[in-house]
Each structure stands twice: as structure tokens, then as C-alpha cells.
Amino acid sequence: MRLAALALSIGLPATPALPADKTDIVVLVNGDRITGEVKELLYGQLTYKTDDMGTIYIEWDKIVSLKTTQVLQVELADGRRFFGQAPEAASKSAALRLLSRTGGGVRVPVELAMSDVVRVATTVEGEAFYKRLDGSVSLGYSFTQANNVAVASVSADVGSRNRKRRWSVALDGQVNSQTSAPSSERASLVSTLERFMPNRYYREGTLEFSRNDELGLDLRTLIGGTYGRYLVQRQGREWRAGAGLAASAETGSDGIERQSLEAELTTTFRLFRLDSPKTNVTAGLNVLPSLSNWGRVRAETSIKARHELVHDLFFELSFNDSYDNTPAEGSKTNDWDVSTSLGYSF
């Protein structure tokens, strides 16, 4: 596997990283004190590992105090990021007292309102590469006996982030087959690298390979770059938008090859339910008007809704739409599908 080969090429640390002691202390609004280990705060929910109760999820607005000697990466709603430990309780309620590291290595105490914190991640020196990965995989299948139509779908993604950047690789594919007509395929492999900037701005590079038989596309290779901003970064929701340029090379089912320079307009919205069972919805729209083939416009729309069945096992409902107003000769201008699947996240 390529991912495994990448992990091996990076190598494991000479000395294994020791897990953090469960000595972190969380104080809730009702006065309860819970000793454990902070794992991550993401979209309003703190993942907290304990000895007696296992891993629990605590809503961030139910916490009035947090103490930990772990090194934290803290991100605020206004886009600022801090890096340091929180060994002492803040002087006021519902605040996080962080010994923030400056560029010169000096630790400066800052008190951050809990309501302003949108993300917390822990950093372990020498932590193995694979332990920093997050991802999911889902599979779906349906069969209609009346016309012998079978539809199989697969979706998988893996990635990681730190206080400066985020990378991800995502695969989506679907195969439709029936006895009375040729089978058709739709697939995409997208790799992204996002660089976080001050005041919630970001830069992102994209490398994409895609295929769509319904649109008469055998292969499209696209390289793009966008510059944008997170317009909303609140507990339970996130919205960003950006613009940039993309260059693509295509081979159509008619054998014709086309190259294109395109403008890229993109937006992504994420909505999260904080209570268990967890539910999240991610919607994205990319519009690519061609600058070299004036009048041509492409667009990609996707909506994915996930609902947790049991811990890390989820049900997914997804919608995908691809549009090209000048496809290969004899092909459709629009292709969309709705699919359901079961998946696992890690």
C-alpha cells in the first residue's frame, strides 16, 4: 500500500513515544472534576480518555476549567493560534490559561475564553506518523432485480493536520452495471495541502485525477491553487470560501484531448451535531469557468451526511453532481447520483 510505504519511508522514532499520563483535570459547570487525558477538541466536543469510563466526549460549553501539562495547539474563532501548556487553572471561570510559546521559546501566560476556542489538539514529541492520521472508509451496494442493475460505491479519506497546515487524500468511486446496457464508472482521487494563515485566511493546493463515463471523460488531471478565508469557525459549524486558478488536461471518450486554464471558485460548509450519536453534514461546491476555452463552465457539487450508529461506525448518505456544458461529443452535460453506505472512521 502506498500509505504504508510512505509511513515506512518516514521511519519510526528511535525511542517509542510514551503515552501521556492521565493527569489532566476537567471541571464541569456542575462542579464535577474528571481526571483523564485530553485527546482533541473538534467542533465543540472534547475527546477525553479516562481509566474508569474509557473515552468520553464532553461538550466544550459544559467545561469551566481545564488543566494539563500536555503541549496543546489551540485555535480561536478569529483565526489566531497558540501553542503551549495549561498547567494551571485560569483566574476566571470558562477560560483556558495557556503558557504560550513565542518565537524565541519564551513562555507567556495568556487567558483564552472557552467560547472563543474552536479547536484543541495535543502534540507528542516523537509521535509516530501513523498516530497523527485521521480518516474513514465506507462501502455501499444496491441491486434491483427488475432490471438487473447493480451499483457499488466506495469512499475513503485519510489526512492529518497541525497548527500550520492540513493535508488529505480522498477517493470516491461508483460502478453501475446492468445486463441490458454497458457498465459505467465514476471515480476521483483528490490530494490537497492547506496552509493556515493569520486572520482565518488559507492557501490550498490541489492535485486531482478523475473519470466519468456519463460525461464522456476517460481521464482528467487537474492541478490548482486557491486563496480563501474561513468566514465562519464556530462550535458546531464551519464555512469557508476561496478563489484561484487551475490547469487541466483531459482525454475524452471520443479520443480528443483538451487542455484548459480555469478560474476556480470554491466553498465548503460543515455542520456538526455535538450530542451522541454524532451527526455531521459536509457540503461543497466548485465552479470552474474556463479562461482558455471561453464559454465552457464545469461544476462539482457534493453533500455527505453521516450519522453514528455505534462508536466509529456510521451510516452515510451522499449526493454528487458533475456538470460540464461542453462534454465529449454524444455525452451528457450532467451526471448525478445518490448513494447510501456503511463506514468506519479512525
CA distance 274 to 262: 38
Distances (CA, A) of 219 to 186, 235, 246, 248, 288: 10, 39, 16, 10, 17
pLDDT at 244: 98
Cell 487542455 sits at which residue? 259
| Record: fold of 20-127 | SH3 type barrels. (2.30.30)
Answer for the pair 137, 343: CB distance below 8 angstroms, yes or no. Answer: yes
Report pTM.
0.75
Residue 130, number of CB atoms within 10 A of its CB: 14
Q: What angle do CA 109, 114, 116 make, to 5 degrees?
A: 95
Q: Looking at the domain that runs over 130-345, which CATH code has it been given?
A: 2.40.160.40
Domain boundaries, the chain: 20-127, 130-345
Digitized pLDDT (tens) for each residue of the chain, 346 residues in all: 333 343 333 333 333 444 456 789 999 999 899 999 988 887 677 888 888 788 888 888 889 999 998 888 888 877 788 888 888 888 888 889 998 766 566 678 889 988 888 888 886 555 566 667 889 999 999 887 777 788 999 999 999 877 688 999 999 999 988 877 788 899 999 999 999 888 889 999 999 999 999 899 999 999 999 999 999 877 678 899 999 999 999 999 888 899 999 999 999 999 887 566 778 899 999 999 999 999 999 999 999 999 989 878 999 999 999 999 999 888 889 999 889 999 998 8
H-helix or E-strand spanning residue 3 = helix 2-10
